[in-house]
Amino acid sequence: MEERFDIVPLDVRYQIEQYKGKVREAVEYVKSLDIRTKEEAEDALDIACEAINISERIEETKKSITEPAKNFKNEVDRLAREFTTQLDDVKSIVVDRIDDWRLRSPDITTLETPKVTTVDIMDYSVEVEDMMMVPKEYLTIDEAKIKLMMKQGISVIPGLSLTKRNKTSIRRK
C-alpha cells in the first residue's frame, strides 16, 4: 500500500471525527431495522431526525473549517479574473479585426508568425424559424418546469403522462 501524507491537522480531524460514534450507532441501528409497530416507526423517525441533525452539525463544522480557505481562493480568483478577462478581450478583438481584414482580402488563407499560426474553425449557430417544422429528436423537455407546473395544479399536458405520488419526507420541528 502506498504511503499517504495526511494534510488534515489532528485538531481539524478531531472536529469531524467527534461524530464517529453517533454515526456508527445510527448505521448499526438501521442495519437491523424492522418496523412492526407505530412506536417502532416513531423511534425510527427519531433516529432519522438525529441523523439529519448530526449531518447538519458535520456540515457546519466543515464549513467553519473550510470557509477561510474558500474566501482566500475566491479572492485570488477575483484578482486573477480582472486580468484574464482583459486578456481574453485582447485576443477576441485581435481575432475580430483579423476576420474583418480577411473578408476584405479573400486571397489570404493562413497567417503565421514564429510564435503563432491561424486556423480556420467552422462556427455554427442555430435560430428557430418555425418550431412546428423542427423534427422531434431535436426538441427537449424541461422536466423542472413541468414539475413546477404540476405543483401549481396542472394535471394534463398533451403528449405527456403526468404522475403524482406521495413520498414520505422527514421534516424536523
| Cα distances (angstroms) measured from residue 80 to each of 41, 47, 85, 94, 106 | 54, 47, 8, 21, 38
| Residue 20 near residue 73 (C-beta atoms within 8 A) | no
Residue-level pLDDT at 2: 58
pLDDT of residue 44: 93
Using N-to-C axis directions, what is the helix angle for 38-104 and 10-17, rounded to 10°?
Answer: 130
Yes or no: say if 162 and 150 are a contact pair by the CB < 8 Å rule. yes
Residue 110 Rama label (left phi>0; alpha psi -120 to 50; beta): beta
Tell me what the mean pLDDT of segment 85-109 comes to: 88
> Does residue 1 register a pLDDT over 60?
no
In 3D space, the residue among 154, 151, 126 whose CA is nearest the CA of residue 138 turns out to be: 126
* C-alpha torsion 155→157→159→164, nearest 10: -30
**What's the pLDDT score for residue 62?**
92
pLDDT of residue 168: 61
What confidence score (pLDDT) does residue 109 get? 76
**pLDDT tens digit sequence for 12-65:** 888 889 999 999 999 999 999 999 999 999 999 999 999 999 999 999 999 999
Q: How confident is the model over 69-78, as pLDDT tens digits?
A: 999 999 999 9
pLDDT score for 139: 84
Q: Which cell is 158 given? A: 398533451
Domain boundaries in the chain? 10-151
Cα three-residue angle 71-74-80, rounded to 5 degrees = 145
Sign of the alpha-carbon dihedral angle for 49, 51, 52, 58: positive
Contact of 53 with 22, CB cutoff 8 Å: no
Query: How confident is the model at residue 89, as a pLDDT?
Result: 95
* Whether residue 5 has pLDDT greater than 70: no
Report angle CA 121, 140, 148 to the nearest 5 degrees.
130
Under the banding of pLDDT at 50, 70 and 90, the label for residue 3 is: low
pTM of the entire predicted model: 0.54
| pLDDT recorded at residue 121 | 81
For residue range 105-150, list pLDDT tens digits in order: 877 778 888 899 888 887 777 788 888 888 888 888 889 998 998 8
